[in-house]
Chains A and B, each alone.
Chain A
């Protein structure tokens, strides 16, 4: 599933005093539908040849899919002002055609500012559209282009720092497995990397006297699926459920590129995803890269459903195929 409700910002949704700035700068990742290259047959949740790409938690995925995160629970690191936040995020990705899909996401936040009463409420609604540019099975590679939109005034603007402006974020997401490496380094073959770049274009240049900079968003996930090791390289006898584990580390950051937007912020997130036949469960530690990104360590847990496997003949099919 690609553009989820800002996977990049998932773990750094901030306290009132710095929420707006961080949210604007980390903005929403990818989405839309600019068909620049002929698309291959998309197979839902991330297959390219022998490679299975799981849906990562922080960084956007390079494939269109029929999937849902139900939910993602996040306890971000403390905000720079000492506030603590808890988030419940819900995301849905639905293919319209085999290569074109839409995403929807929204999150509920409990925010405890330091020395002030807690506030709760919904964050912004995010939507995305994405197009699968290509899938190359031989080289375990894929990419998509997208456009994500974070909609103004769809969350609690004053209390939670939700946006009073709409942000457009064109993105490019890609993935590459290392299964085509030579046999001399066969134990590196299970490695795969996915990455994304995007640019935020806020519809207002400032809000409440603070600038809304354009941002450059970037991130990657490096993963080592045990199932790939066992089924493609060397069978060490690791069996279910352990063979479904995928150790990984994710990184995402946002850098303002104008309007005096401040320093780069982001997080590093080591963790494990367990990918079953119908759903996956992921857990990661959240480590801010600097003081502006938070204090201490947080965590995130996600339950993620493969709709195409759970409902292969109905909800899990592209909508264009429902009526055939």
Chain B
């Protein structure tokens, strides 16, 4: 049995680096941050490349009303970046809700808030 386990360990270490679960590395506006003035877009940067067709992001205000332009895109030059444009945001709290599929079909999701100050 130990040979089986050691073989698995070696295989894992030697495996070609497939794409794993995509975790949110950072965002703009930053998670939990306060920005002055309406940001033009929300940019999300992940730890793995994304499948554009199955990666989504939505931005809503404190009442749950959608405030993004619905034009999410995965940057062709950086497939680990998901972006969506925003309408002009009045001061208030906003929630970013995302769900992405990494290129090896692992799904992850999350949400965070940011605040727009005058």
Q: Which residues of A contact B (CB under 8 A)?
A: 43, 47, 49-50, 52, 68, 70-71, 90, 92, 104, 106, 108, 125, 137, 183, 186, 227, 230-235, 239-240, 243, 277-279, 303, 305-313, 315
Question: Is B24's CB within 8 Å of the partner chain A?
Answer: yes
Question: Taking the complex as formed, is B110 at the interface, i.e. its CB lies under 8 A from any CB of chain A?
Answer: yes
Tell me, yes or no, whether B116 is within 8 Å of chain A by CB: no
Given A71-B5, A231-B31, A235-B31, A309 and B20 contact (CB-CB distance below 8 Å): yes
Contact call B12/A305, Cβ cutoff below 8 A: yes
Chain A residues whose CB sits within 8 angstroms of the CB of B12 once the complex forms = 68, 70, 278-279, 305, 307, 310-311
Q: Does B11 contact A (CB under 8 A)?
A: yes
A301 to B30, CA, bound (A): 35
> Which chain B positions have C-beta within 8 A of A278?
12, 15, 17, 20
In the complex, chain B residues whose CB is within 8 Å of the CB of A68: 5, 8-9, 12
Partner of B111, one of A43, A50, A92, A307: A50
Instruction: Tell me whether B56 is interfacial, beta carbon within 8 Å.
Output: no
- Asked whether A235 and B5 contact (CB < 8 A) given A43-B107, A310-B18, A312-B105, the answer is no
Top 9 A-B pairs, shortest CB-CB distance: A234-B32, A309-B20, A70-B9, A277-B20, A90-B5, A50-B110, A235-B31, A312-B104, A231-B24
A232 and B21 in contact, given A71-B5, A307-B8, A311-B15 (Cβ under 8 angstroms): no
One digit per residue, 1 when the CB lies within 8 angstroms of any chain A CB and 0 when it does not, for chain B 29-40 equals 011110000000
Q: How far is the CB of A87 from chain B (nearest CB, A)?
A: 13
B91 to chain A, nearest CB (A): 17
B106, CB-defined interface residue at 8 Å: yes
Interface residues on B, range: 35 or more
Q: In the assembly, what is the distance between CA of A108 and CA of B27, in Å?
A: 46
22 contacts between A and B (CB under 8 A): A47-B108, A70-B5, A90-B5, A106-B2, A108-B2, A137-B109, A183-B113, A231-B110, A232-B112, A239-B26, A277-B23, A277-B48, A305-B9, A305-B12, A306-B20, A309-B21, A310-B15, A311-B15, A311-B18, A312-B20, A313-B18, A313-B104
Partner of B23, one of A71, A92, A231, A303: A231
Q: Which A residues lie within 8 Å of B20 (CB)? A: 277-278, 306, 309, 312
Closest to B30 in A: A235
Quick one: closest A residue to B29, CB to CB?
Answer: A235
B53 at the A/B interface (Cβ < 8 Å)?
no
User: Which residues does chain B contribute within 8 Å of A234, judged by CB atoms?
Assistant: 31-33
Interface residues of B, Cβ cutoff 8 Å to A: 1-2, 4-6, 8-9, 11-12, 15, 17-21, 23-27, 30-33, 47-48, 104-113
- Supply 13 further A-B pairs (C-beta < 8 A) apart from A50-B110, A232-B110, A309-B18: A90-B5, A92-B8, A106-B2, A232-B111, A233-B31, A233-B32, A278-B17, A279-B12, A303-B9, A307-B12, A309-B20, A309-B21, A309-B106
Q: B38 → chain A, closest Cβ, in Å?
A: 20
Please tell me if the beta carbons of A92 and B5 are within 8 angstroms of each other in the complex: yes
Please measure, in the bound complex, the distance between the C-alpha atom of A50 and the C-alpha atom of B2, giving whole angstroms. 35
In the assembled complex, which residues on chain B have CB atoms less than 8 Å from the CB atom of A92?
4-5, 8
Evaluate whether A230 and B31 lie within 8 angstroms (CB atoms) in the complex, with A70-B6, A70-B9, A90-B2 already known: yes
Q: Which residues of B contact A310 (CB under 8 A)?
A: 11-12, 15, 18
- Complex: how many Å from CA A232 to CA B113? 8
Cα A307 to Cα B104 in complex, Å, equals 13
Nearest to A91 among chain B residues (CB) is B5
What CA separation (Å) do A310 and B33 show in the bound complex?
Answer: 34
Report the bound CA distance from A106 to B33 in whole Å: 48
- B65: shortest Cβ distance to chain A, in Å? 18
In the bound assembly, the distance between CA atoms of A183 and B111 in angstroms comes to 13
A90 and B112: CB pair below 8 A?
Answer: no
The reply to whether B1 and A106 contact each other, CB–CB distance below 8 Å, is yes
Which residues of the other chain, A, contact B27 by a CB distance below 8 angstroms? 231, 235
